[in-house]
Amino acid sequence: MLLRSLNSYAITHGGDVDDAVTVGDVVLSRSDLLGAATSVAERIMGVDRVAVLAEPTARTVVAVVGALIAGVAVVPVPPDSGPTEIEHILADSGARGWLGVAPEHDGGLPAVPVRMHARSWHSYAEPSDDATGLVLYTSGTTGPPKGVILSRGALAAGIDALAEAWGWTVNDTLVHGLPLYHVHGLVLGVLGPLRLGSRVIHTVKPSAERYAAARGTMYFGVPTVWSRVAADPESAAALSHARLLISGSAPLPVPVFEKIAALTGLEPIERYGMSETLITLSTRADGERRPGWVGVPLRGIETRLRGEDGSEVPRDGESIGSLEVRGRFFDGYLNKPEATAACWTEDGWFRTGDVAAIDPAGFHRIVGRESTDLIKTGGYRVGAGEVETAILGVPGVREVAVVGLPDDDLGQRIVAFVVGDEVEPRSVIDSVAQQLSVHKRPREVRVVDALPRNGMGKVRKNLLE
């Protein structure tokens, strides 16, 4: 049962009990949420899929929960999507209409209103674990976004594995301000609390000040958020009461990890996952936390590394290879059987497309995407992440992205795009050469005003050239 805590509440309680969900200034008790969401479910029962404009509002939460109660698959749509992207998502997903607010470019589909004060206490049978819960669209950096089909059972298993690793219980209050159309903000940040029974406070915007004002025990953020917190010592100090500070969606720079730890007394939890697999790796609440490493496999997950020739890569903490994982994952890309098949090995492992190193204790370090972060230069294989970590230690550097650009002599030359104050390119090159092997130094450093990022804060390296 995916929404376990709400279903349990419906059986055992009556009346308003707690502030289960807070989004900005709107507070919903479990009774509020269950009653409003069940009212939504009554009006869409029997529909296959609905689109939800995933604005950071309580209405979005009610819409998603209502659809899940009805057994209707939810297609979250980023609120900043342009007409072309919306048209693609609607056509590809087969969504029958909008649930809640529809965007200006609504694709000609009808909208079913979400009435926040409506209430229904009808009880519906729980759909099977194999039923589709969400269709999440990827960021589309290498082509049109693909619809990732996630079953209710996979969502539940992923949340439960994190609960075990993080010691996440009904006594926690989760705070975050992340988008509600991806795994991080929606699955972990909303469905997680509703499954486990903990409270959630969504700050609408993930600012350091808003995080500091919310008295939570767990905080979610992407590296950009934690960089802002690290730059605001007063707000950072206000988080020292928390139990866990959790970073994901992109690598957390080591200097930010160290500054957060110094200001709060808490070493951040880092984790790794994908829309297709949910979260597969994490440092544990009761275990070691290393800057630059994303921990060990969650319960039910297996991992392995493979070289270019398919051979096994040793787990020595240094050798890098293609990361493959095995567990209960997505049910494929919607309408794309060939793309789905290409993701899997013949013996049933999912190809993540990421490059990693694993140490003898099972700790994982993600080097980056195989397509953009594995640089083949002068006969060497260099991970962009390792070079980026070294550059972030150079005084004045705030952000960096390292890519391999075509080179007639080297195959690819290492180029660093740096955001910072009074950064001297020569000093960056020399610093890396002193910290790492000489062949890993950038051949070129370009100082830029900003790095191109997507809605989750990930750098879009395909735009750097």
226 falls within a domain: no
Query: Which residues, 6 or more positions from 189, have their beta carbon under 8 angstroms from its beta carbon?
Result: 174, 176, 178, 180, 200, 202, 220
Q: Is 116 exposed, middle or buried (0-12, 13-18, 19+ CB in 10 A)?
A: middle
User: How many helices, marked H, and strands, marked E, lie in the chain?
Assistant: 13, 24
Tokens of 167: 């010691």
Among 171, 193, 215, the domain boundary falls at 193
96 falls within a domain: yes
Among 124, 158, 193, the domain boundary falls at 193
> Which range marks the domain in which residue 104 is found?
4-193
Q: How far is CA 22 from CA 28, 115, 194, in A?
A: 6, 17, 12
Tokens of 399: 């952000």
Query: Considering only CA atoms, which of 14, 29, 13 is closest in space to residue 194?
Result: 29
Tokens of 439: 């062949």
Q: Is 353 exposed, middle or buried (0-12, 13-18, 19+ CB in 10 A)?
A: middle
Rounded Cα distance, 258 and 266, in Å: 10
Tokens of 226: 């934690």
421 falls within a domain: yes
Tokens of 74: 């939810």
Confidence (pLDDT) at 15: 40
Confidence (pLDDT) at 277: 97
Rounded Cα distance, 465 and 460, in Å: 11
201 falls within a domain: no
pTM score of the predicted model = 0.87
267 falls within a domain: no
Measured in whole angstroms, the distance separating CA 62 from the mean position of its chain's CA atoms is 21
Query: Considering only CA atoms, which of 207, 189, 238, 162 is closest in space to residue 22?
Result: 189
14 falls within a domain: yes
Domain CATH code at residue 85? 3.40.50.12780
Rounded Cα distance, 325 and 347, in Å: 11
* Maximal C-alpha separation, the chain: 73
Among 134, 167, 193, the domain boundary falls at 193
* DSSP per residue, 72-131: PEEEEE-TT--HHHHHHHHHHHT---EES---SS-TT--EE---TT-------PPPPTTS
Q: Domain tally for the chain? A: 2
53 falls within a domain: yes
Query: Which residues, 6 or more positions from 158, have their beta carbon under 8 angstroms from its beta carbon?
Result: 187, 278, 279, 328
The alpha carbon dihedral of 160, 164, 169, 174 has a sign of: negative
Domain CATH code at residue 427? 3.30.300.30
Rounded Cα distance, 374 and 341, in Å: 23
Tokens of 110: 């009808």
Instruction: Count the residues in the chain.
Output: 465
262 falls within a domain: no
Per-residue pLDDT of the chain (465 residues; tens, 9 = 90+): 788 777 665 444 444 447 899 999 999 999 999 999 999 999 999 999 999 999 999 999 999 999 999 999 999 999 988 898 999 999 999 999 999 999 999 999 999 999 999 999 998 999 999 999 999 998 755 567 899 999 999 999 999 999 999 999 999 999 999 999 999 999 999 999 999 999 999 999 999 999 999 999 999 999 889 999 999 999 999 999 999 999 998 888 888 999 999 999 999 999 999 999 999 999 999 999 999 899 999 999 999 999 988 899 999 998 989 999 999 999 999 999 999 999 999 999 999 999 999 999 999 999 888 877 788 888 777 888 888 888 988 888 988 999 999 988 888 999 999 998 889 999 999 888 888 888 888 999 999 999 988 765 678 888 888
